[in-house]
Amino acid sequence: MPSTHHDTDPGMTEAGRLRALAELQIMDTPPESAFDDVAWLAASICQVPIALVTLVDAERQWFKARCGLDFDSTPRNEAFCTHAIAQSDLLEVPDMRADARFAGYPSVLGAPHLRFYAGMPLIGEAGWRYGTLCVMDRTTRRLSDVQRESLRRLAARAADLLESRRQRILGESRAAAIAELLEALPDGVVTCDGSGTLQEFNKTARDWHGVDPRALPPAQWPAYFGLCEADGRTLLAPERVPLARAYAGEKVRGQAIVIRTPGMEPRTVSCNASPLRAPDGHSLGAVCTMHDITTQAHESRQMEVLAMTDALTGLPNRTAWFAELERALARARRADLPVVVAFIDLDGFKDINDAHGHAVGDEVLRECAHRLQASCRQGDYIARLAGDEFVLFLDHANPAAADLAAVAQRIQAALGAPLQIAGRALAVGCSIGFATATADQARAEHLLHQADAAMYRAKRDKSVPFVVVDAAQP
């Protein structure tokens, strides 16, 4: 058997060639019309009865396509093509009986009594010679220059078919590896194609959403998959969905959303999403990864709650009060509603604190906070500002004197009953100041300042149960 080391590169060994052939996974595969067409064209152009697309492994040559023969392989030591793949160009043998290399081959001495052979190596992109495109005849002959060139070009097309197969196998292998990796990832991964149709939905994403993906348009993703803003309540607008934002061409980094799946606890995830584009710029779709930050988000919310809560009474603190007051004023402006704020200061608390100590004083503050909160209507917002000072925003309040008198009576009644603290019946009262303003004139700091001033007027003049000031007046 001749050496099949490539004559152009000593580093390209027979072992390497066999590995490259094995990577094609083509030996003993069913016929394919593309290879059959190449063999038929070779036979027709060269005007011979026999044409083959051969592949040469360690033990045999196998015919991927054949014209004019009724068997599909021969032992390698009887293969003319072993000699052809030992060189880089066309091997042409006009009379094999007159060529010492082939004269003793069984197919020359006996059926099918071959006399003529011409074979062009099938050379892959890396230079490996997998086999040949060969033509044979039972009579001696020579090819014309056009036939030789045609055989070379057809062999190149057959080699292209082999390389396409290699690329397809590589692509399938990579896709399988990526799919396996995606399935194993602890993060959720979702993709859509260039038309916006959902494609990849890995195991983590399926587990989190609790549903099978469907070919839904982006507009239906929030409702179907229960996608909410970070507050966990507001359904995402379709254009706010991270994958939809990426599909529209935006890069998304660290967008927090909540997945609300029926029968499951809400899950907070941090999303990164990117558009996918072809080299020419057209859209291939988008990809979004989701990292579970439920624990971190819960801890962050707890820290935020702690930062906005008065540790002693559990009521919102000064920071929370001003944040909520600004939101309430904004709502009032949109609805063109009047605004009312109450400032409440306990009467007699200092005497209790001095007489019975701070521990009892703290219990008094807690009990008063509980009673004040219980006296509020739904929508009202009460907070402890400092010491024994409380503030109240009255939702949808009527600033008329009669209505404010009813509010004051409700607060005073809540605090009027004796407090049972440490086996003692303790009494406290309160002074109340109201500040009112129209929505367009209301300013948070000014409202509070005016309500505080009104409270001190009420504290100085015990003949009035409360004082009301118009915060719009200088």
- Angle, helices 145-184 vs 33-46, to 10°: value is 170
Asked if CATH classification 3.30.450.20 holds for the domain at 185-298, the reply, yes or no, is: yes
Segments of the chain assigned to CATH 3.30.450.40:
14-172
Mean pLDDT of 13-21: 93
**Per-residue confidence band for 474, with pLDDT thresholds at 50, 70 and 90:** low
Burial 97-123 (b: 16+ CB within 10 A, else e): eeeeebeebebbeeeeebbbbbbbbbb
Give bridge partners of residue 153 from the DSSP assignment.
Answer: none
| Confidence check: pLDDT of 215 > 70 | no
Assigned token pair, 115 = 């006399």
Cα 467 to Cα 341: distance, rounded to the nearest angstrom: 12
Distance of CA 276 to the CA centre of its chain: 12
Cα 321 to Cα 465: distance, rounded to the nearest angstrom: 25
Segments of the chain assigned to CATH 3.30.70.270:
308-470
- Phi/psi of residue 90, nearest 5 degrees: -60, 130
Instruction: Give the model's pLDDT for residue 6.
Output: 47
| Confidence check: pLDDT of 177 > 90 | no
Assigned token pair, 386 = 């400092």
| Confidence check: pLDDT of 226 > 50 | yes
- Least reliable range by pLDDT among 11-15, 64-68, 95-99, 459-463: 11-15
| Confidence check: pLDDT of 400 > 60 | yes
Q: Between 220 and 437, name the one with better pLDDT.
A: 437
* 371-394 pLDDT per residue, tens: 999 999 999 999 999 999 999 999
At the fourth CATH level, which superfamily is domain 14-172? GAF domain (3.30.450.40)
Mean pLDDT of 194-223: 82
Please state whether the predicted TM-score (pTM) of the whole model is above 0.75: no
Mean pLDDT of 226-252: 92
Assigned token pair, 383 = 């907070």
Q: Could you tell me the fold of the domain covering 308-470?
A: Alpha-Beta Plaits (3.30.70)
% of the chain residues with pLDDT over 70: 96
